[in-house]
Amino acid sequence: MLPGGFQSFSARIALLVSGLLIVTLVSTFILVNRENTRNALQSVMADLATTEETFNSLLQGRTSSLFDVVRPATSDHAFRTTFIDGHMPTLESAMRNLLGRIRYVPADLMLLTDLNLEPIAKTAPDFINPEDIPTQWLTDKAFESDEYESSGIVATEQAPYQLITSPLLIPNPQGWVVIGFPIGDQFVLSTKEITQTDVSIAVFDGNWRISSSTLNDGQQSSFSSLLPNLIEMDQTSLETNLDGTPYLSRLQRLETGSDMQVYVALHGNLGQALAPYERLNRSLYLIFGGGLLISAIGALTLARSVSAPVQALTKGVQSIRSGDLSLRVETTSSDELGQLGQAFNEMAEGLEDKERVRNLLGKVVSEEIASELLENKIELGGEEKELTVLFCDIRNFTQLCESQPPKAVLAGLNNFFSEAAKVIESERGVIDKYMGDAVMALFGAPVKHGEEETRAVSAALQLRENYGRSTDNEPENIIAAGIEFGIGIASGTAVVGNMGSENRLNYSVIGDSVNTCARLESLTKFYQVPILVNKAVRDKADRFQFRWIDRIRAKGKREAIDIYQPLNENDKLCNSEIVTLHQNASKAYLKADWDKAEHCFGLLSERLPEEKLYQLYLSRIEKFKSESPENWDGVYTHTEK
């Protein structure tokens, strides 16, 4: 039971807010302090990881630069002539000249050996002995590569060296070229200039020593004393105290060709990373104290003005959540809560308008296209996509409608389009547009669902079957019963997007596959078949059986294509004897074996007299037998669309 002074809503709010604020501020301070420390560590670790990548990238880049100079040099006629002459001063001069041509890489070591790895000539600092260079190790690695080249690191008395080896071709291999550069002070300074992180190179040859480092002498000494424990504990990252400064050090071992171990150590300064957070902690003390005092005073004031607008907004949000977008909240003030109420009303109006537009747009275009237009920035342009286009057109629609009233024509046409849309959308196709008595659909745009060709063929076969069944049930509908239509399907690359003008655009598709699809639909009438597809559809829609129709060059097209008719599994054309006979006839026709083709097509025509396709081929063959075509490739060129 609260004391009497805290029975009011405002007092309870003040007490609750103050108590929660105290707990929150203290907890927040503890968590913020812990997170700041953790973030500082993560930031330093991320910097170290980046520095490690940069170090390796610089090492790889300089190694690649060596290869870029050595490869052409080892095949250079002048260099090879100098090698063959064997005049040592000239050869060493050529080697120094080659080293001088390596830009941005301080390469100062070059060794030539024969195929037995015996040194021939050397240009290198005095502290490097040719016998200490692991030539055998490098050449063994080179033999494992396709280019017979390799690279590796060797530790010397003063600094590790990055070496590369490449065969000397005259034109056959006559020896090996070894070139290297020190991983020394210049290299670690370059790394630090790029990453702002300290770098050290440590070598173990019985004793630990720092060969190069960006740390000061005292820090180097501290780190050198920690190295044995780091390696013994198998730790690659450790918080260290280097000469009184906290660091996070990270180790990476470099592969070498000797018993000497070489490590690159990266040092992130934790003191610098934590400095901003320490300043933040001091600011938080002041902010938390002032916030506690102000909140106790402001809680009472806010409690009196918040509850009513909040309740109204809550009711409005619940109304929108339930689907009622018509509710508006009353705003009586111009403060933030009043602005929030006004913003809520504008949001509700916007949602209501958008829903109205979506409902209207969804009736004009498909749901997928409506979503694409509403969710993305509407602008002219498109993108290339692999998709499948289906084009369906009613045959002889003008003659069919001559004696019918316009309303009956429209009703019949809408009935056909409704059936087409139902079938296409059931196969996840998208109606792109209605064009008079034709419909164009896309499979694979704007959203890909996979198996686009299979779903397009399935939709075409279903439409043929379903529409025939529906018109059988409505014999009184003269328009519906008289509709006959052809379908073309083509797969390929097309540009999909918004096309038109800046003020009026349309989501559509253009490309060769669209033109091919339209030609195929038009040719269904010529070949007296219901559906035609191109080879790309036939190859990918392998669930269905197809009948080869012709090899054609459509009007306006230069490329010849094979076209096919998809078949229902219960179609009589799927009979094994018919299929075999059709294949034999087609092969003979394409090979210009007119007698065999005529015999096979004749048998097919006798067994399937209703198939006009076979009569068409018999007519062609009769003409070809009397006027044998030159350079026969089986292509029939259409001169009409």
Residue 8 in this model has a pLDDT that exceeds 60: no
pLDDT tens readout for residues 51-74: 888 888 888 888 888 888 777 776
Q: Please, what's the b/e burial string for 136-151 (b: 16 or more CB within 10 A of its CB; e: otherwise)?
A: ebbbebbeeeeebbbb
Q: What is the pLDDT of residue 617?
A: 93
The least confident of 60-74, 232-246, 273-287, 356-370 is 356-370
Q: What is the pLDDT of residue 561?
A: 93
State the pLDDT confidence band at 379, using cuts at 50, 70 and 90. very low
Secondary element (H or E) of residue 532: strand 531-534
State the pLDDT confidence band at 613, using cuts at 50, 70 and 90. very high
Report all structural domains of the chain as residue ranges with CATH numbers, in order of start: 48-271 (3.30.450.220), 319-363 (no CATH), 379-543 (3.30.70.1230), 569-641 (no CATH)
Spatial CA neighbour of 485 closest among 375, 548, 395, 351: 395
Residue 430 to residue 414: CA distance in whole angstroms: 17
State the pLDDT confidence band at 537, using cuts at 50, 70 and 90. very high
Question: What's the whole-model pTM score?
Answer: 0.47
Residue 205 CA to its chain's centroid (Å): 48
Spatial CA neighbour of 62 closest among 146, 182, 192, 154: 182
Q: Which long-range contacts (CB under 8 A, 24 or more apart) does 564-569 make?
A: 564/532, 564/533, 564/534, 564/535, 564/537, 564/538, 565/527, 565/529, 565/530, 565/531, 565/532, 565/533, 566/457, 566/460, 566/461, 566/531, 566/533, 566/538, 566/541, 568/461, 568/465, 569/545
State the pLDDT confidence band at 370, using cuts at 50, 70 and 90. low
Q: Is 383 left (phi over 0), alpha (psi -120 to 50) or beta?
A: beta
State the pLDDT confidence band at 521, using cuts at 50, 70 and 90. very high
Report the 10 Å Cβ neighbour count for 637: 10
State the pLDDT confidence band at 3, using cuts at 50, 70 and 90. low
Whether residue 201 contacts residue 210, with contact meaning beta carbons closer than 8 Å, is answered with yes
The least confident of 59-73, 90-104, 591-605 is 90-104
Phi, psi of 242 (to 5 degrees): -105, 105
Average pLDDT over residues 357-381: 52
Residue of higher predicted confidence among 45 and 584: 584
The least confident of 191-200, 247-256, 373-382, 496-505 is 373-382
Whether residue 476 contacts residue 408, with contact meaning beta carbons closer than 8 Å, is answered with no
Residue 586 in this model has a pLDDT that exceeds 70: yes
Residues forming beta bridges with residue 213, ordered by sequence position: 200
CA dihedral 539, 544, 545, 546 (to 10 degrees): -50
pLDDT tens readout for residues 492-506: 999 887 776 655 666
Residue of higher predicted confidence among 537 and 203: 537
Average pLDDT over residues 268-295: 76
Residue 284 to residue 154: CA distance in whole angstroms: 53
pLDDT tens readout for residues 209-226: 888 888 888 888 888 888
Percentage with pLDDT > 90 across the chain: 20
Residues forming beta bridges with residue 249, ordered by sequence position: 238, 267
Residue 617 to residue 594: CA distance in whole angstroms: 10
State the pLDDT confidence band at 319, using cuts at 50, 70 and 90. confident
Mean predicted lDDT score pLDDT of the chain: 80
Tokens 């490739």, residue? 633
Residue 569 in this model has a pLDDT that exceeds 90: no
Highest mean pLDDT among 38-52, 435-449, 473-487: 435-449
Q: What is the pLDDT of residue 111?
A: 84
Residues forming beta bridges with residue 203, ordered by sequence position: 209, 262
Whether residue 171 contacts residue 180, with contact meaning beta carbons closer than 8 Å, is answered with no
Residue 409 in this model has a pLDDT that exceeds 90: no
- Residue 334 DSSP symbol: S
State the pLDDT confidence band at 119, using cuts at 50, 70 and 90. confident
Whether residue 199 contacts residue 252, with contact meaning beta carbons closer than 8 Å, is answered with no
State the pLDDT confidence band at 361, using cuts at 50, 70 and 90. very low
